[in-house]
Amino acid sequence: MNEEDLSRYFDETVDPAETVAALPEPALVELADALYRHLDTPSPTFGAHSWYVQVADELRMRRLTGSADTPAASDDRGPGGPAGREVPAG
């Protein structure tokens, strides 16, 4: 993913929670990598860190809940959100 592709995510009309929840895991991993590299630049785009946190949380949640192959429901905002999921013990 190049900088031009990544900049599309920073468009103000894009809802990070909906976008991240709708992405399949391979695209989510690619986005996380691109965001991580972008954050390591001298002047990352405003909002890039928030996107990275959202993507990292979604990946972690999918892997902990075993839903890595399917995107989360679009109304699920993750831990601390209105529809957070419990993480199984052990």
The string of pLDDT tens digits covering residues 27-65 is 999 999 999 999 999 999 999 999 999 999 999 999 998
Do the domain assignments include residue 77?
no
Do the domain assignments include residue 50?
yes
Number of domains in the chain: 1
Its pTM stands at 0.69
State the Cα–Cα distance between residues 24 and 66, nearest whole angstrom.
Answer: 14
Domain that holds residue 16: 3-65
State the Cα–Cα distance between residues 90 and 76, nearest whole angstrom.
Answer: 23
Using alpha carbons, select from 82, 81, 78 the residue that is nearest to residue 59.
78
Dump the DSSP string for 36-51: HHHHTSSSPPTTHHHH
Q: Sorting pLDDT into bands at 50, 70 and 90, what band is 86? A: low
